[in-house]
């Protein structure tokens, strides 16, 4: 499942030039659009709803969120609205202030699901 905010933020990073101070992926609009379409074909896209805003305003107030961190609070608000308690992110430190969700990185997921090599100990 994904919420629209994920796709908004992906678009920004995907279409940002690779040579900018905070580099992006440098994709063309056509390439980014094709990937967004693939994401929405693969994942269930949840709706943006008024309650997301209500959750967001409470989160930014309760956790004293300022600046760019407001985008992360919006993701958490959407998660709350749709009863999602886990997030997969490359930036786990962005979500440490929210004890109500579990955070994992792709490398953690890959490590957990990687098959272990069979033991070569012969007794």
pTM for the model: 0.77
DSSP lists the bridge partners of residue 103 as: 87
What beta strand segments (E) does 1-123 contain? 86-88, 102-104
How many structural domains is the chain composed of? Answer: 1
Average pLDDT for 60-89: 94
Mean pLDDT of the chain: 90
pLDDT at 116: 57
Domain annotation covers residue 98: no
With a pLDDT cut of 90, the percent of the chain lying above it is 76
Average pLDDT for 54-61: 95
pLDDT at 117: 53
Which domain range does residue 39 map to? 1-45
8 Å CB contact between 1 and 7: no
Domain annotation covers residue 104: no
Query: CB-based contacts of 89: which residues, under 8 Å, 6+ apart?
Result: 95, 103, 104, 105
pLDDT at 118: 52
pLDDT at 123: 43
Domain annotation covers residue 36: yes
Domain annotation covers residue 94: no
Domain annotation covers residue 9: yes
Domain annotation covers residue 82: no
Average pLDDT for 94-104: 96
Domain annotation covers residue 28: yes
């Amino acid at each position: 499942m994904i919420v629209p905010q994920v796709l908004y933020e992906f678009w920004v990073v995907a279409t940002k030039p690779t040579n900018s101070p905070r580099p992006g992926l440098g994709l063309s609009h056509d390439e980014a659009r094709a990937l967004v379409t693939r994401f929405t074909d693969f994942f269930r896209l949840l709706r943006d709803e008024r309650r997301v805003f209500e959750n967001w305003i409470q989160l930014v107030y309760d956790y004293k969120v300022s600046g760019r961190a407001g985008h992360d609070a919006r993701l958490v608000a959407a998660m709350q609205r749709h009863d999602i308690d886990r997030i997969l992110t490359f930036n786990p430190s962005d979500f440490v202030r929210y004890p109500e969700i579990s955070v994992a990185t792709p490398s953690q997921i890959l490590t957990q699901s990687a098959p272990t090599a069979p033991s070569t100990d012969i007794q």
